[in-house]
Chains A and B, each alone.
Chain A
Amino acid sequence: MLAFVVRRLLATVPVLAMVAVFVFLMLRLTPGDPAAVIAGDNAMPDQVEAIRQKLGLDEPIVTQFFIWIGKALQGDFGESFFFKKTVAELIAQRIEPTVALAIVTLLLSVAIAVPLGVIAAYRQDSWVDRTVMAFSVMGFSVPVFVIGYLLIYVFAIQLGVLPVQGYRPIGQGLWPFFERLILPSFTLSVVFVALIARITRASMLEVMNEDYIRTARAKGLPERTVLLRHGLRNAAVPIVTVIGIGLAVLIGGVVVTESVYGIPGLGRLTIDAVLGRDYPTIQAVILLFSFAYVLINLAIDLIYVLLDPRIRY
């Protein structure tokens, strides 16, 4: 098991190296000039050129790459072109809201979606099943920002019970923290609930036709035990897999949700960096996302072992 974990962690190195090369080249091939952005609209050409030289953007791309990768290997991702701050500082400032949003969304989604999926499977073809599936289709179809604006209009503007935007660290109090995460988490969880509920239903339907379920019922076990202990546990592997895949969707959704709700997280940092062509920041954030994704996949593989003793690495 330990050897597996070490092997998987080592495998992240070539993955991250490829991501690094890809991101670096993509950014340099994308039109746009950070020096022109920094100089401002009224800057004369010599002002832009001076900034370009200062940032080292006049160097050949290969030279720029080796300078960047050399520093990155030492854990130095450089300084943002715009802020007089290191990229590490910027990420440290922004990571908490994104992680908080992701965790609350994940917990909310699982807490809603898994019971819905189980109930839909148990009541297959009933109105409950059809309602859950209809909600699922809607969750996939309606864009995140539309849901966001609708929730803001109802709960923040019309009812005035929740704030429109912003973020408060948990250190400033539990209610201020949750108050500002309720609407964004609900917004983001809609697509996630749709995805998990659908897979839970399908997986449960498959499991509920197995012989061991019939045996459990024949033994006279209560239906709740049959469903949760024998059914859900055996259906869990695909559900956990889809939660892992869903985290990639979550990362994409975070970017939009943070914009709609004015949350100063990594998603907003990414958008601002892309619009301003802040290369060091974009590179570091994408590497961080890639690393997180690799770790999530590793964690899912390890959870398989806990859920299904037949799986061994």
Chain B
Amino acid sequence: MSFVRSLGLAAAGAALALGAGFAAAPAAAQQKTLKVVMHSDLKILDPIWTTAYIVRNHGYLVYDTLFAMDEKLELKPQMVERYSVSPDNLTYTFTLRDGLEWHDGTPVTSEDCIASIKRWGARDSMGQKLMTFTKEMKAVDAKTFQLVLNEPYGLVIMSLGKPSSNVPFMMPKRVADGNPMEQLSDTTGSGPFVFKKDEWKPGEKQVWVKNPKYKPRSEPASGMAGGKVAHLDRVEWLWIADHQSAINALLAGEIDMMETPPHDLLKVIEKDKNVKLVNTNPLGNQYTFRFNWTHPPFDKAAIRRAALVAFNQKDFLDAVIGDPKYYRVCKAMFVCDTPNETMAGMDGIYDSRFEDSKRMLKEAGYDGTPVLLMHSTDLHVLTNLAPVAKSLLERGGFNVNMVSMDWQTLVARRTKKELPAQGGWNAFLTSWVAADILNPVMAGFFNSGCDKAMFGWPCDERMEKLRDDYSRETDAAKQKALVAQVQARAMEIGTHANLGQWYQPIAMRTNIEGMLTAPVPVFWNIVKK
């Protein structure tokens, strides 16, 4: 065969290959794939086993919920078609929508939902509370089930429609029936997307594809509620750990969206006309200072209160967020612009009245015991908080020993009850997603059950009584009055300090539209043009 003939054959082969490639191109172009860099890599697939937000976000793609919170923070039926409450407020009857199917094609039944509630109820703090009031759950028929209470409980629907971790996601009975202490690996759900386990590469990429069997509600999407219409064929979460690299990838068009661009790099994004910043979570987040009640000096309420008097929110928010467009000074512990917003108990708090703080410390007999303040150094949204707290506390008369460490070390150390000098602590700062702190039962830092409380271990019978009364109350107006009492009590005894609300805009290419306003980033309703 001559060289020329060989070349000719090779050229023909290449042309055929190219032709095949071009022929395949239109099919590929029709696929709408959204490439997103989330705030973390997805390592765990079970949203009931962990409270990690990234797993919760995965849960919303794969699973559906009985109830969901809409944009106005009202709870609406989601998988449930209708429900009724008996006149004695003891029996809740739920009827599922027609046509609900698991990803494997089997129908969603009452038994599935009961098993799912039980598994969630064994793990989640609000679920555990609901279970203590629950006498039994029983299937009436394949689509109807009842939850029967021992005594009236005002948070049944709130619990089942809880928007954030742990969300009561519905799973098939065969999956949910397993040991709740064991992590699930079966991701069969009934949500608008299906997890592609065969394409899961931890530390690199996670993939979901549209669930063709999903039947959205007829109402328009609103918050987490309404019709979950998937316009995307495929959602890919790419894990780019480095923020700057992720922003570069967004600017270059290699990804479509970045969930948590750091605030100090927002200016870079704002300058690019092909990228936009959208705040889809108007409730935002809340910075919090947590006291450890078990060791001096914060074992005394008067000293904790002196710290609240020394703080002011603006200094914290300026130091971390900077641009007032992305923060809000808001003293309401159950978040501003929510039904439970109240200013009860806030007189004289968070105004940095240093002389008053010093006087209060003197009256409380503060002996100069240093406050061991844990400072996390590796999360950009937290790093600058502790130095501000140290400065304000010192100006208010405290002696502060700030110890720097990475967040994971802090997370481990905050569980330790030892004395500060022996590996314990006195205070640290963190941030809550507002959707997790909308009422006194949901917000974990109000739990004042001593050893049963979250780290910091507040111990106050009055607070526990108020929280209990709140959970039993079924009248909305009376519930709101109790919320005010809880907040006032929290300021009186110093469970924790609220250091202001802040907002995290999502950065996305300008051809991405339809992202819903909701406390959790959800991927239905999104259109890629």
Known contacts A37-B411, A42-B444, A163-B254; A83/B202 CB under 8 A: yes
Of all chain B residues, the one with the shortest Cβ separation from A39 is: B50
Q: Cβ of B181 and Cβ of A54 under 8 Å apart?
A: yes
Proximity bits, A273-293, B CB within 8 Å = 1, else 0: 001110000000000000000
A237 contacts the other chain (CB 8 A) = no
Of all chain B residues, the one with the shortest Cβ separation from A45 is: B415
The 7 closest A-B pairs by CB, nearest first: A40-B51, A33-B412, A264-B204, A82-B43, A40-B52, A42-B51, A262-B240
Min Cβ gap A162→B in Å is 10
Contacting residues of chain B (401-433) with chain A, CB-CB under 8 angstroms: 405-406, 408-409, 411-413, 415, 430
Q: Cβ of A37 and Cβ of B248 under 8 Å apart?
A: no
Task: State in angstroms the CA–CA spacing of A259 and B41 once bound together.
Answer: 13
Q: Cβ of B183 and Cβ of A84 under 8 Å apart?
A: yes
| Beyond A33-B408, A37-B411, A54-B182, 13 extra complex contacts between A and B, CB < 8 Å | A38-B44, A39-B51, A41-B51, A47-B123, A82-B202, A160-B252, A165-B240, A166-B254, A262-B249, A264-B204, A264-B205, A269-B203, A275-B406
Proximity bits, A257-275, B CB within 8 Å = 1, else 0: 0011110100011011001
In this complex, which of A165, A166, A269 has the most chain B Cβ atoms within 10 angstroms of its Cβ? A165
B111 contacts the other chain (CB 8 A) = no
Proximity bits, B476-489, A CB within 8 Å = 1, else 0: 00000000000000
Proximity bits, A26-58, B CB within 8 Å = 1, else 0: 000001110011111111110110100010000
Task: State in angstroms the CA–CA spacing of A268 and B252 once bound together.
Answer: 22
Contacting residues of chain A (63-93) with chain B, CB-CB under 8 angstroms: 80, 82-85, 90, 93
Q: Cβ of B408 and Cβ of A164 under 8 Å apart?
A: no
Of all chain B residues, the one with the shortest Cβ separation from A273 is: B203
Size band of the interface chain B makes with A = 35 or more
B201 contacts the other chain (CB 8 A) = yes
B150 contacts the other chain (CB 8 A) = no
Known contacts A43-B50, A149-B244; A37/B238 CB under 8 A: no
A-B contact pairs, 28 of them (CB 8 A): A31-B412, A32-B412, A33-B411, A36-B408, A37-B408, A38-B52, A40-B50, A40-B55, A42-B51, A42-B444, A45-B454, A82-B44, A83-B43, A90-B203, A94-B203, A160-B252, A166-B254, A259-B241, A262-B241, A262-B242, A262-B249, A264-B239, A268-B241, A271-B241, A272-B41, A275-B378, A275-B408, A276-B43
Of all chain B residues, the one with the shortest Cβ separation from A53 is: B181
Task: State in angstroms the CA–CA spacing of A83 and B142 once bound together.
Answer: 35
Contacting residues of chain B (1-56) with chain A, CB-CB under 8 angstroms: 41, 43-45, 50-53, 55
Proximity bits, B197-224, A CB within 8 Å = 1, else 0: 0000111110000000000000000000
Of all chain A residues, the one with the shortest Cβ separation from B56 is: A40
Task: State in angstroms the CA–CA spacing of A271 and B241 once bound together.
Answer: 10
Min Cβ gap B378→A in Å is 8
B361 contacts the other chain (CB 8 A) = no
Q: Cβ of A31 and Cβ of B455 under 8 Å apart?
A: no
Q: How many residues of A contact B (CB 8 A)?
A: 48
Q: Cβ of B251 and Cβ of A157 under 8 Å apart?
A: yes
Q: Cβ of B248 and Cβ of A85 under 8 Å apart?
A: no
Task: State in angstroms the CA–CA spacing of A156 and B252 once bound together.
Answer: 7
A152 contacts the other chain (CB 8 A) = yes
Task: State in angstroms the CA–CA spacing of A272 and B202 once bound together.
Answer: 10
| A48 / chain B contacts, CB cutoff of 8 Å | 415
Q: Cβ of A31 and Cβ of B240 under 8 Å apart?
A: no
Known contacts A44-B444, A149-B244; A50/B181 CB under 8 A: yes
Q: Cβ of B245 and Cβ of A260 under 8 Å apart?
A: yes
B436 contacts the other chain (CB 8 A) = yes
Proximity bits, B339-379, A CB within 8 Å = 1, else 0: 00000000000000000000000000000000000000010
Q: Cβ of B245 and Cβ of A276 under 8 Å apart?
A: no
Q: Cβ of A38 and Cβ of B454 under 8 Å apart?
A: no
Task: State in angstroms the CA–CA spacing of A43 and B411 once bound together.
Answer: 11
Known contacts A40-B51, A54-B181; A152/B248 CB under 8 A: yes
Q: Cβ of B248 and Cβ of A156 under 8 Å apart?
A: yes
Known contacts A165-B240, A276-B43; A40/B202 CB under 8 A: no
| B201 / chain A contacts, CB cutoff of 8 Å | 93, 264
Q: Cβ of A36 and Cβ of B248 under 8 Å apart?
A: no
Task: State in angstroms the CA–CA spacing of A197 and B122 once bound together.
Answer: 63
Of all chain B residues, the one with the shortest Cβ separation from A275 is: B408
Of all chain B residues, the one with the shortest Cβ separation from A36 is: B411
Contacting residues of chain A (240-268) with chain B, CB-CB under 8 angstroms: 259-262, 264, 268
Task: State in angstroms the CA–CA spacing of A157 and B452 once bound together.
Answer: 52
Min Cβ gap B278→A in Å is 22
Task: State in angstroms the CA–CA spacing of A37 and B53 once bound together.
Answer: 12
| A54 / chain B contacts, CB cutoff of 8 Å | 181-182
Q: Cβ of B51 and Cβ of A272 under 8 Å apart?
A: no
Q: Cβ of A164 and Cβ of B249 under 8 Å apart?
A: yes
Task: State in angstroms the CA–CA spacing of A259 and B246 once bound together.
Answer: 10
Q: Cβ of A36 and Cβ of B254 under 8 Å apart?
A: no
